[in-house]
């Protein structure tokens, strides 16, 4: 009961104290300089993702999540399996897609349609490979498109250009290998 005869609900006192406590914690955090963006990002352990269904392995920091989506290749929708993971704002992904038998276009035409540039270069695994490297609106993207028969593998690293992890991108893009030779 208050001094003027009005009853005060017990929860009202709690609701009055909560904002005061939150403001006090905010002031203390500001004074002490607590800022998440000033901390060093946690670095994840590199792991190898092996996918027998699509005959490839690749290394990246952390765990991949599988997304399935439709992809239009040669005017035909085909299933694409996209394995993606994010580490401190950097996205690593691999998409595995089988080109439809009706798509008889040359590989450079397929690559150009997917946004890749340049002529096919021999990869360390001697499979035709196309590269992509571009920076737009503050974001850098590096990608490889690798062909093995009817299979297409697209490896991609995306991150803010100002903090692009070139060494990790090179490590990821260079880690691709086939599990068995077809």
If phi > 0 it is left, if psi is from -120 to 50 it is alpha, else beta; for residue 71 that is beta
| Contact (CB, 8 A) for 134 and 148 | no
Higher-pLDDT residue of 17 and 172 is 172
Q: How confident is the model at residue 77 (pLDDT cuts 50, 70, 90)?
A: confident
Domains assigned to the chain = 46-178 (3.40.1000.10)
Question: Average pLDDT, stretch 73-81?
Answer: 86
Considering the chain, what percentage of its residues have pLDDT values greater than 70? 71
Mean pLDDT of the chain: 81
DSSP codes joined into one string, 25-66:
HHHHHHHHT--GGGSPPPPPPEEEEEEGGGTEEEEEES--EE
CA–CA distances in Å: residue 99 to residues 58, 73, 76, 111: 21, 7, 9, 12
pLDDT in tens, 126-176: 788 888 888 999 999 999 999 988 999 999 999 999 999 999 999 999 999
Q: What's the pLDDT band for 84 if we cut at 50, 70, 90?
A: very high
117 has pLDDT over 80:
no
- This prediction has a pTM of 0.71
């Amino acid at each position: 009961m208050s001094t003027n005869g009005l009853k005060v609900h017990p929860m009202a006192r709690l609701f009055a104290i909560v904002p005061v406590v939150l403001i006090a914690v905010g002031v203390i955090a500001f004074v002490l300089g607590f800022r998440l963006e000033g901390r060093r990002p946690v670095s994840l352990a590199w792991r190898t993702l092996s996918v027998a269904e699509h005959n490839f392995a690749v290394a990246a920091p952390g765990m991949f999540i599988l997304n399935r989506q439709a992809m239009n290749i040669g005017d035909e929708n085909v299933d694409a399996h996209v394995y993606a993971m994010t580490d401190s704002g950097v996205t690593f992904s691999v998409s595995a897609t089988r080109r439809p038998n009706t798509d008889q276009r040359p590989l450079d035409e397929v690559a150009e349609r997917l946004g890749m540039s340049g002529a096919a270069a021999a990869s360390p695994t001697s499979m035709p490979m196309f590269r992509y490297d571009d920076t737009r609106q503050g974001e850098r993207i590096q990608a490889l498109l690798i062909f093995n028969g009817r299979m297409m593998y697209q490896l991609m690293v995306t991150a803010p250009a100002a903090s692009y992890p070139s060494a990790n991108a090179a490590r990821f893009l260079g880690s691709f290998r086939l599990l068995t030779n077809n």
